[in-house]
């Protein structure tokens, strides 16, 4: 689960929130760490390539699970 990333959040320096990206069509999820206050606008997942649009360049989304996990 995304809660397993808590130790890596502390390594990242700022604990602004863990984001679970869910692809309901392919039934997979990816856990990411969001750094910054800007909401995530859009997420696209093609194969193992995760693209996140946060709308601002000074915010970051760090994905530790590059291989999407199948849910259930």
Residue 3: per-residue pLDDT: 58
Domain ranges of the chain: 2-70
Instruction: State the pLDDT at residue 64.
Output: 58
> Distance between CA atoms of 15 and 36, rounded to whole angstroms?
9
Strand partners, 29: 22, 69
Distances (CA, A) of 4 to 7, 15, 35, 48, 54: 7, 14, 17, 20, 23
Give percent of the chain with pLDDT exceeding 90: 0
Residues of the chain below pLDDT 70: 1-29, 36-40, 42-60, 62-72
pLDDT single digits (tens) 36-52: 666 667 666 666 566 66
Q: Are 16 and 36 in contact (CB under 8 A)?
A: yes
């Amino acid at each position: 689960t995304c809660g397993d990333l808590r130790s890596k959040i502390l390594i990242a320096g700022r604990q602004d929130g863990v984001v679970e990206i869910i692809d309901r069509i392919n039934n997979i999820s990816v856990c990411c760490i969001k750094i910054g206050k800007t909401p995530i606008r859009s997420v696209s997942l093609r194969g193992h390539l995760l693209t996140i649009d946060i709308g601002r360049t000074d915010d970051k989304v760090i994905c530790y699970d590059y291989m999407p996990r199948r849910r259930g």
